Chains A and B, each alone.
Chain A
Amino acid sequence: MIHAAPVIILLPLVGFLVLTFGGRRLGDPSAGWLGTLAVTGSFVASIVTFLGLRSLAPHARSVVQTYYSWVPVGGLKVNISALLDPLSLAMVLFVTGVSSLIHLYSISYMKGDPQFRKFFVYLNLFVFSMIVLVMAGNFLFTFVGWEGVGTCSYLLVGFWFDRETAATAAKKAFVVNRIGDFGFLLAMFLIFAHTGSLDYHGVFAHLGSVSRGTATAIALLLLFGAVGKSAQLPLYVWLPDAMEGPTPVSALIHAATMVTAGVYLMVRVNPILALSPNSLTVIAILGVATAFYAATVACAQNDIKRVLAYSTMSQLGYMFLGVGSAAYGAAIFHMISHAFFKALLFLAAGSVIHAMNDEQNMKKMGGLRKYLPITSTTFFIAWLSISGVPPFNGFWSKDDILGAAYHKSPVLYVVGAATVLLTAYYMTRQVVLVFTGQARWVENRPGVEGAHAASGGHAAPVASGGHGGSAAGEPGGGHAGPPHEGPWIMTLPLIVLAGASVLGGLIDLPFGKVKFLDTWLSPVASGAGDLATESASLRIALLLVTLALAGAGILIGSRLWGVRIDRPALEPELLKRSYYADDISSAVLTGGGGMVSRALSVVVDNGIIDGAVNGVGHLARAGGGVVRRAQTGYVRNYALGIAVGTVLILGFMLVRAS
């Protein structure tokens, strides 16, 4: 079999190392090009490997490549190994593909940033970690990628660390992820204790001896890890704050890497989930609850990126719903669809933010369709896709998941369908606020419609647009003239992703033999949900219901927000602040938790722990004080002691002898 697995993994690492040590010599734009080239090369290698794997028979498509014996300790043998199977290849293909586009886009987006080179260093490391995560052949090596992704998210969310909010958001992302990692670690301990292996193949071969309770415990602990990484309830709080990072980072975290890791892990361990139907139900409920919760919050956000952040959370909820319904193929399908349209949404949002001189409040935008034709067209495609309008890919993948959810329980379907309505509504609200209606940015903008240069950094009055290629990074800013599109390296990724969003549905159409992705994944991940055979009429009915709901959402959104942008009744404070989740957690953790900690510090720390240590000291001191009197310093006393002792011992021996 022809494959290029080491190339896939190593190219981003090489890019990272070269940029770290030689980035200064390369200079600004070429460092970005090098980083892009590394990831694109990795993508090409993935395609080669994919074709190689395809040439094998379906049941033989699971190849382990071992490179190095990492931890050979007693019964524990962990290798640096890559697992090439349909699941890892499907993941790595879209991860590297979407990442290449985001890299390309970043070259222009980050232009002029003083930390330009460092950005690509982190970006390459991020992609490398993600590839390790999805291609690793055992849990421990996956965990390395898992941690690497967490670290890179910290570095990238806090990329503009001189902003207080960015630094805080980075810390939050790291800490919350760390809580989830704890679950992953415990799950690994349990897995090793019960199967004696950490290799995916080894573990799945020994599942026969694992009891149902143990399987449930492992599944729930892994779920806990996945919840942290994939921003599900209740560990989602880091995701909206992660918007403090540069927009390409948001695209990378939300579309291709990081948040998909949790879903990937759940699909990867599907043989364990199969042993524990209860954990599947937990996953499904958690997923659908997150989807609904995040969708409601997204309805009241005004920041263009925060809407997308909550929408990511909501879509990830769908993926968990798919996993929980044992429809692994559908979950992966939606993950890939989501990667396309969410990357597109973020990159287009970045383009908008760029054009608006770093303004992120949607209420201050409007009417941009005229100025940003490419951005708006591609954004519209992504909007229709995420809303679930055919023939775009989001429609097919979402329908796939909802069908499986109906098979599991109609209640799950109802909540999921309600979320479809909300999704269509908030996305329409965003589109309407940003791209249509009145241009509400004119008064702040010099050089447009006769206004003079009055504000905006080093802005110079430029009569008309059309100076493509002079885009500045976010902290720079300050263009005069009407908003305009970025250079081709910013618009090309948008167009490619839009094409993928239009055609992406083709990889898994729900008609008999054309379910390519399900067929491809079936050797490693085929659950009851994927094989569910509802009658055709029922499926079509469900499909029409969701379609009608999506249409209703779009209609309501455009009717309400097209007319008036100020509707406080529809944006209650409760939703704006995401149900006061942050306030509650800080009240509980710093208020209640702080009180408990202070009480514990007085009682336990001062009283018991310090008490024990000091007590030992006091005891030794008091005992010494008593005993030291025997040490008089007079030779005669010692001599007397020896004499008396000798006499006593002799007396004792005489008594015993007689």
Chain B
Amino acid sequence: MTLSGNWYLALAAVLFSIGAVGLLIRRNVLVMFMCVELMLNAVNLTFVTFSKMLDDINGQSLVFFVLVVAAAEVVVGLGIIVSIFRRRPNATADDLNMLKG
């Protein structure tokens, strides 16, 4: 059986919302980071869906760009997180408020 595109879009919306809410309410830096990934992939899913529905290859090619950028971002982000945990164990995002104005 084939599902209509709307289901995919709905799934992407749910995933994006989970990611966004997770980013806002969680304190664990690693989890927040995963939430960002979740949001990125939700957007990727949307791109692919629309590409299929509108029969336009541009959507899929854009996904590659997003993946590449996300991979680079993961490298930098994980690097930062690892160095944070080296300095202090059990750091939450709220502990890192040195840039307060």
Q: Footprint of B on A, CB under 8 Å?
A: 627-636, 639-640, 643
**B15-26 interface mask toward A, CB cutoff 8 Å, 1 = contact, 0 = none?**
000001001110
- Which residue of B23, B24, B97 contacts A633 across the interface (Cβ within 8 Å)? B97
B87 proximal to A (CB < 8 A): no
Interface residues in B19-71 by Cβ distance below 8 A to A read 20, 23-25, 27, 32
Report yes or no: A635 in contact with B93, Cβ–Cβ below 8 A.
yes
Give the chain B neighbours of A636 by CB distance below 8 A: 23-25, 27, 93-94
Give the chain B neighbours of A635 by CB distance below 8 A: 32, 93, 96
Give the chain B neighbours of A634 by CB distance below 8 A: 93-94, 97
A569 to B45, CA, bound (A): 117
A507 to B79, CA, bound (A): 103
Main secondary structure of the interface of A (DSSP, over half): helix
Report yes or no: B24 in contact with A631, Cβ–Cβ below 8 A.
no
A635 to B31, CA, bound (A): 13
Give the chain B neighbours of A629 by CB distance below 8 A: 101
Q: Whose C-beta in chain A lies nearest to the C-beta of B100?
A: A633
List 20 additional A-B contacts (Cβ < 8 Å) besides A636-B94, A639-B23: A627-B101, A628-B101, A629-B101, A631-B99, A632-B97, A632-B100, A632-B101, A633-B96, A633-B97, A633-B98, A633-B99, A633-B101, A634-B93, A634-B94, A635-B32, A635-B93, A635-B96, A636-B25, A636-B93, A639-B24
Q: Footprint of A on B, CB under 8 Å?
A: 20, 23-25, 27, 32, 93-94, 96-101
Best-buried of A630, A636, A640 by chain B (most CB within 10 Å): A636
7 contacts between A and B (CB under 8 A): A630-B101, A632-B100, A633-B96, A634-B93, A635-B93, A635-B96, A636-B27
Give the chain A neighbours of B27 by CB distance below 8 A: 636
Q: Give, as a whole number of angstroms, the nearest-CB distance from A637 to chain B.
A: 9
Q: Give, as a whole number of angstroms, the nearest-CB distance from B99 to chain A.
A: 5
Report yes or no: A631 in contact with B32, Cβ–Cβ below 8 A.
no
Q: Give, as a whole number of angstroms, the nearest-CB distance from A639 to chain B.
A: 5
Q: Whose C-beta in chain B lies nearest to the C-beta of A636?
A: B24
Give the chain B neighbours of A639 by CB distance below 8 A: 23-24
Report yes or no: A640 in contact with B101, Cβ–Cβ below 8 A.
no
A557 to B70, CA, bound (A): 112
Give the chain A neighbours of B25 by CB distance below 8 A: 636
Q: Give, as a whole number of angstroms, the nearest-CB distance from B73 to chain A.
A: 15
Q: Give, as a whole number of angstroms, the nearest-CB distance from A39 to chain B.
A: 76
Give the chain B neighbours of A640 by CB distance below 8 A: 24
Q: Whose C-beta in chain A lies nearest to the C-beta of B21?
A: A643
Q: Give, as a whole number of angstroms, the nearest-CB distance from A653 to chain B.
A: 17
A643 to B93, CA, bound (A): 18
A447 to B25, CA, bound (A): 115
Give the chain A neighbours of B96 by CB distance below 8 A: 633, 635
Give the chain A neighbours of B20 by CB distance below 8 A: 643
Q: Whose C-beta in chain A lies nearest to the C-beta of B23?
A: A639
A468 to B25, CA, bound (A): 112
Q: Whose C-beta in chain B lies nearest to the C-beta of A646?
A: B20
Q: Whose C-beta in chain A lies nearest to the C-beta of B32?
A: A635
Q: Give, as a whole number of angstroms, the nearest-CB distance from B45 to chain A.
A: 18
Give the chain A neighbours of B24 by CB distance below 8 A: 636, 639-640, 643
A636 to B100, CA, bound (A): 13
Report yes or no: B93 in contact with A631, Cβ–Cβ below 8 A.
no
Report yes or no: B100 in contact with A631, Cβ–Cβ below 8 A.
yes
A643 to B101, CA, bound (A): 21
A630 to B99, CA, bound (A): 12
